[in-house]
Amino acid sequence: MSIHASAVIAAGARVPESCTVGPFCTIGPEVALGENCTLISHVVLDGRTRIGARNTFHPFSAVGVAPQDLKYGGEPTEAIIGDDNTIRESVTISRGTVGGGGVTRLGSNCLLMACVHIGHDSQVGSHCILANAATLAGHVVIEDYATVGAFSPVHQHCTVGKYAFIGGGTIVTQDVLPFSLTSSRRENKAFGINKIGLARRGFSAERLQVLQKAFRLLLAAKMNTSQALGKIKELEGEDVALLTAFLERSERGVIK
């Protein structure tokens, strides 16, 4: 096992022999690491934190730390991390709170760039990218394959839909439509589908065409959301079904 002499690993922590723990890292007693994880240096892993395989933690990242919630009283809540994530410098991931379900989750194959914050009880899917200083307040949901741009804060209880792309510097206070390209100029707007990103993910021309029809009804037609939803339901395909289900369950409203 490769553990630097200056690292502090508490009794009870589970660290497989395949892991590398660099200088000045601290691992708490209830942390369980998966195989082949790398802690480069000055990493803090705390609380009831379960971490999958092949994750890389860069300097000054802090995972499983106590939530930034004044109601938190030291309850035994958790943080759960999947496999193959890259967690860059100064990223913070808080564990959950009792009132929010008790668990903060990060899926697999995600890139969290420098200074990202994932607040308590947030649920981040797999294959997501959170750019530099993207910040998630508590109880945020980021669905699979979504990208949150640099310096973009996401308000509590907001959901960012699957395959969405949020431009840098966008203040998100409502749900972000799946498949959408959403950004801020003078005000937050959805500018249609994330066509380039979806094509890179293997979406066919036919799937993109159906999604474009749906988004024209939602964003460009002179209809309210309920009227547009009725028209969108007349289209066919699993992507349209995902979009309509998202609209129907949104509690904060969506950015249009």
Name the residues annotated as catalytic: 120-121, 138
Token pair listed for 229:
């939803």
Q: How far apart are CA 224 and CA 206, in angstroms?
A: 26
| Amino acid at residue number 116 | V
H or E, element range at 64: strand 62-65
Alpha carbon separation from 158 to 10, 112, 173, 217 (Å, rounded): 36, 19, 7, 23
H or E, element range at 32: strand 31-32
Q: How far apart are CA 34 and CA 55, in angstroms?
A: 8
Q: Which residues of 84-108 are buried (b: 16+ CB within 10 A; e: fewer)?
A: bbbbbbbbbbbbbbeebebbbbbbb
Task: Answer left, alpha or beta for residue 42, where phi above 0 means left and psi between -120 and 50 means alpha.
Answer: left
Token pair listed for 114:
């420098």
Beta-carbon-side half-sphere exposure of residue 215 (alpha carbons within 13 Å): 24
